[in-house]
Structure 1
Amino acid sequence: MTHRSPRGRGHHILGSYGLLGLTALLFLVFSAALPDTFPTRDNVSSILSNQSIPALLALGATIPIAAGKFDLSIGYGLGLAHVLVMHLVVEEGTPWPLACLAVIAGGALVGTLNGLVVEFARIDSFIATLGTGSVMYALTGWLTDGSRIVPGPDGLPAAFTGLYDARFLGLPVPAFYVLAAVLVLWVVLERLPLGRYLYVIGSNPRAADILGIPTRRYSVYAFAGSGLVVGIAGVLLAAQQQIGNPSVGLDYLLPAFVGALLGSTTIKPGRANALGTLVAVSVLAVGLAGIGQLGARFWATPLFNGGTLLVAVGLAGYTARRRLRAQATPDRDPPGRPGGPSAPEADDGAPQPPAHP
């Protein structure tokens, strides 16, 4: 049994939920500064709609990060996926449900190929996914010939554009896609062996090998999951844009990694987690919406994202080191008492090794 001092509990609460409190504080500050526009239902709906695609991409990036990998191809993959949807629907006449399913399956396949390149070709994930991303960008240019794909006079099917435009319970439908993705990812990472093995691989690959965890296979699974989410985001982007723009995907790369890395500093500090990513995206969404309504110049958005990324990386490293120190020198009861050093202590939520390696 581990005892925390009041000061330790305070640090734990601040580290776990401070970012959530910051989101609420930012909302209150911008509401006070912009009482007529910011705390309105239309503004909240706009934030939920506009941030749904960055949120999905951030969740997709979270999966490989949990395994200690980085997928830099997600921005390129998003661009290719949404252009491919438009190509199939507009130029090939493919029924939109079939086109969407094909692109989502293709996203999972591309993610699997990323994982195979990283794990079996033994190329660092930064370099490998940057290379495969460049190939995707080339395919996007080849598919579109560098120009936009524009629907004909009849436009796109209303059911397809409704994937983004529709509302449910008074809120934009994309917000519910994000909530569903967060729930699925939370279950996978926190409640299933797959997620626990990914955390073991991400924290100590050598130990994972010793324990008999097939690290290569689970890393491929992580990239496949990331690619699947990117495919879904690409379909949603096509329904939002209603044109195929070959250069739009790269704009989402930085916000996605800001959300995923900043999310690893909250809720479960020191490791990538779905709820933390959601909180981080919320901070970014409220902050960007607020400075935008205050009349910030066009360069304020990349400045905000870049500065937040630096802070996120620094905080992620700090919380990871602090977590390791806490595990190395835990506060325990004196020997001989229940829960003392003679009794094994389980880390709350920590990944457990397989029963039969």
Structure 2
Amino acid sequence: MTRRSPRGHHLLGSYGLPALAVLLFLVFSVALPDTFPTRDNVSSILSNQSVPALLALGATIPVATGKFDLSIGYGLGLAHVVVMHLLVTEGTPWPLACLAVVLGGALVGALNGVVVEFARIDSLIATLGTGSIMYALTGWLTDGGRIVPGPDGLPTAFTGLYDARFLGLPAPAFYVLAAVLALWVVLERLPLGRYLYVIGSNPRAAGMLGIPTRRYSVYAFAGSGLVVGLAGVLLAAQQQIGNPSVGLDYLLPAFVGALLGSTTIKPGRANAFGTLVAVAVLAVGLAGIGQLGARFWATPLFNGGTLLVAVGLAGYTARRRLRTRAAPDRNPPARPAGPSAGGADEDAPQPPAHP
């Protein structure tokens, strides 16, 4: 009996989610022909999902190292409130305020990494604790209320970060695309990304190879914090008001996007384009059920159910990847002995000789 080729399974695992996104769009377009497949609706989806997409990309970086940053939702709330505080209360020029928040986000992320790696606290517990501290700082800064601009409003150039259009599409869509490309370069084309993948695959082996695992884990959390700072700036430009509790609404969709994204394009690995595809599936699905008249509880139900599916699929793809490594073909071609022998996955990032 001949064995079935794994090519079909590989294609389904790699590109099934993008196909699902297209299928969902077609289904909702047929069900809602007057409203869904319109330019205004597409523009609305791109604008509304820009902040969740950025936050999901931020969550993707620690996931690549096998860590989780639960503070990103709290960090988003703190970042956008600090932007509003600097603009409204302190009168800081908006470019300086935005730069301060982005750099501050990277610093907070690095502190998260230090707590996780040097205090040896599990990332879930550590970032939940630091996130609670961020939430307390947000409440202290706003005194539990909202930061509302004066009668003159916010600078037009600042609000234009969200309201502007380029090539007929919302500018935030291009911010997300730029972030995806930048993260793809870091993870797939730079040594830093290979280090992060090796650490996420086997931290002990990474340490034996001489990779400074603690340092690169801190880098991963710092990168996540930087992206969260960018998302906070964009959220402030979108809402134009400082709401101390708004960030928590974005936490679950961000992790759904990051975990579901690790099951596509490069199954078993957190990757930028996979996260983008996952966010697209969530965006199309939520927009469609919303226009069909779903009740208010449909959104958390959709996000929660999708998170369970994402975690299940992520675990399945990881196990399947291990089985593929452990079970080479019955009649493998002759290969010279070396580090890549023994059925290793050639697509997996190879550890550097001299980090």
User: What TM-score results when the alignment is normalised by the length of structure 2?
Assistant: 0.96
The root-mean-square deviation of aligned C-alpha atoms, in Å, is: 1.4
Matching residue within 139, 149, 152 for 1:151: 149
User: What is the one-letter code of the residue matched to 2:237?
Assistant: A
Paired with 1:132 and 1:253, the residues of 2 have a C-alpha distance of 14
Could you tell me which amino acid in structure 1 is paired with residue 129 of structure 2? Answer: G
The partner residue of 2:85 within 87, 91, 108 is: 87
| Inter-partner Cα distance in structure 1 for 2:105 and 2:194 | 24
2: CA distance between counterparts of 1:317 and 1:172? 36
What SS class does the counterpart of residue 5 from structure 2 fall into?
helix
Superposed, 1:193-208 pairs within 5 Å as: 193-208=191-206
User: Could you say which residue in structure 1 is the equivalent of 2:165?
Assistant: 167
Return the alpha-carbon distance in structure 1 between the equivalents of residues 332 and 350 of structure 2: 26
Match in the other structure for 1:33: 31
Checking the alignment, whether the CA contact within 8 Å between 2:65 and 2:217 is kept in structure 1 is: yes
**Which residue in 1 is equivalent to 2:217?**
219
Question: 56, 68, 86: which is aligned to 1:58?
Answer: 56
Aligned to 1:16: 14
What letter is aligned with 2:135?
Y
- Please state whether the residue corresponding to 1:7 is helix, strand or coil: coil
- Is 1:316 paired with 2:323? no
Instruction: Between 326-335 and 31-40, report the one with greater CA deviation.
Output: 326-335
For residues 248 and 348 of structure 1, the distance between their equivalents in structure 2, rounded to whole angstroms, comes to 43
Instruction: Detail structure 1 runs of 4+ shifted over 6 Å in the superposition.
Output: none
Task: Check the 8 A contact 2:209/2:353 in 1, yes or no.
Answer: no
In 2, Cα distance between equivalents of 1:111 and 1:266: 27
Deviation at 1:347, TM superposition (A): 3.2
Structure 1 segment 319-330 matched on structure 2, within 5 A: 319-330=317-328
The separation in 2 between residues aligned to 1:332 and 1:133, in whole angstroms, is 50
Q: Distance in 2 between matches of 1:243 and 1:292?
A: 25
Matches within 5 A, 1:91-240: 91-240=89-238
CA contact (8 A) 2:163 2:170 kept: yes
Measure the CA separation in 2 of the matches of 1:192 and 1:305: 33
Residue 259 of structure 1: aligned partner: 257
The equivalent residue for 2:268 is: 270
Per the TM alignment, residue 171 of structure 1 is displaced from its structure 2 partner at its CA by 0.2
Alpha-carbon distance, 1:355 to partner: 1.6
Distance in 2 (alpha carbons) for counterparts of 1:7 and 1:30: 34
Residues 334 and 70 of structure 1, relative CA distance in 2, 3 Å threshold: closer
Could you tell me which amino acid in structure 2 is paired with residue 245 of structure 1? N
Q: In 2, distance between residues paired with 1:194 and 1:320?
A: 22
Give the count of matched residue pairs.
351
* Aligned sequence identity (%): 87
Write out per-residue CA displacement over residues 260-306 of structure 1, whole angstroms, 9 at most, x where no aligned residue. 00000000001110010000000000000000000000000000000
Q: Deviations over 1:29-80 (max 9, x none)?
A: 0000000000000000000000000000000000000000000000000000
* Comparing 235-244 and 345-354, the one that deviates more: 345-354
Deviations 1:164-222 (A, max 9, x none): 00000000000000000000000110111111111111111110011110000000000
- Which one of 19, 43, 46 corresponds to residue 44 of structure 2? 46
**Which residue number in structure 2 is paired with residue 250 of structure 1?**
248
- Conservation of the 8 A alpha-carbon contact between 1:334 and 1:341: no
The Cα offsets for residues 4-50 of structure 1, whole Å up to 9 and x where unpaired, read as 97631000000000000000000000000000000000000000000
Letter in 2 for 1:347: D
Equivalent residue, structure 1, for 2:281: 283
CA–CA separation in structure 1 for the residues paired with 2:245 and 2:108: 19
For 2:258 and 2:354, how far apart are their aligned partners in 1? 32
